[in-house]
Amino acid sequence: MIPEPIKPEDNVSTVKQFLLLGFSDLPNLQGFLSGVFFIIYIIILLGNSLIIIITRLNPALQKPMYFFLANFSFLEICYVSVTLPVILVNIWTQDRTMPLLACAIQLCFFLILGTTECFLLAVMSYDRYVAICHPLHYPLIMTPMKCIQLATGSWLSGIPVQIGQTCQIFSLHFCQSNHIDHFFCDIPPIMKLACGDTSVHELSVYVVVMLVAAVPFLLILASYSKIISTILRLPTAQGRGKAFSTCSSHLIVVVLFYGSASITYFRPKSNHSAGTDRLLSLFYTIVTPMMNPLIYSLRNKEVIAALRKLFLKT
């Protein structure tokens, strides 16, 4: 049974849980959506786990580039596990209620892992910059200890900021409704439910997004401007093609992730629609993690060789 929506005149303390509407407006497609999301989740788990395994076992992949790729694959598993299992349980049980604390925890982990992805993509672009622009100094700069420090910084840097932002968002009073027109607890649909003027909170969200997303993106742009400039100066077409192939996969992933996420978070609140938000969120929370193993494996000869070697041994 669907709980009654909270009315504005009700006491705000009565909001103890939210209702994730998700895909309830598609009652005839529940079975189909359940099957599709389950298959996608398995593909993401298997594909990213396979990349982690081959980067650990294959001696040819014991390089900084693949160390960061293994971290990125593990991150994608964690990232998608914050949302997809909840979607599947909601569809299977038709119980779409989400306690307020559980919603806050889901949002917090989602934001922390999203921040980690932004920083890790910037670190991976820096690794490609050093490899292509300073190849002779690459072993001296990207030492094992330096790689561990960069990866650890990427994982930990967003934790205090996003915990603070989550606490700030859930300090708001929710009196518009307890219905979240989304398939997981995300900032835009939650902010819609808040009472009164939320302009200060919206401004703080923009500031945090600028810090944890726009700044890494600018670092990525700076790295690739140097990379492209260096590649264009190479004397042979074969050398240019080889150099570009080492960073093309990462560049595609950056475009996919930042393209859909930036549209979601940088649009004015008045331009948000539930259908568009859900579609964009599906893209950067589910579709992109599913495509990443394919992008990195199909466009990387060393990964293809390692996969072939693994399967032949098996």
User: Looking at the domain assignment, is residue 160 inside a domain?
Assistant: yes
- DSSP-assigned letter for residue 5: P
CATH of the domain at 292: 1.20.1070.10
CB within 8 Å of 219: residues ≥ 6 apart: 122, 125, 126
Would you say residue 11 lies in a domain?
no
Q: What is the pLDDT of residues 155-207, one digit of tens each?
A: 999 999 999 999 999 888 887 678 888 888 888 888 888 887 788 888 888 88
- Predicted local distance difference test score (pLDDT) of residue 265: 63
The predicted-structure confidence for 194-245, as pLDDT tens digits, reads as follows: 887 788 888 888 888 888 888 999 999 999 899 888 888 877 777 777 777 7
Averaged pLDDT score across all residues of the chain: 83
Q: What is the value of pTM for the model shown?
A: 0.86
1: in domain: no
Confidence check: pLDDT of 9 > 50: no
For residue 9, tell me if it sits in a domain. Answer: no
Share of the chain above pLDDT 90, in %: 33
**4 domain residue, yes or no:** no
Separation between Cα atoms, residue 296 and residue 215, nearest integer Å: 25
- For residue 262, tell me if it sits in a domain: yes
| Domain around 297 | 17-312
Give dist(CA 149, CA 174) in Å, integer: 41
Give me 264's structure tokens: 């979601």
DSSP label of 177: -
pLDDT at 12: 44
pLDDT of residue 267: 61
Residue at 65 is within a domain: yes
* Residue 44, domain member (yes or no): yes
Q: Distance (Å, rounded) from C-alpha 253 to C-alpha 105?
A: 27
Amino acid identity at 304: I
Number of structural domains in the chain: 1
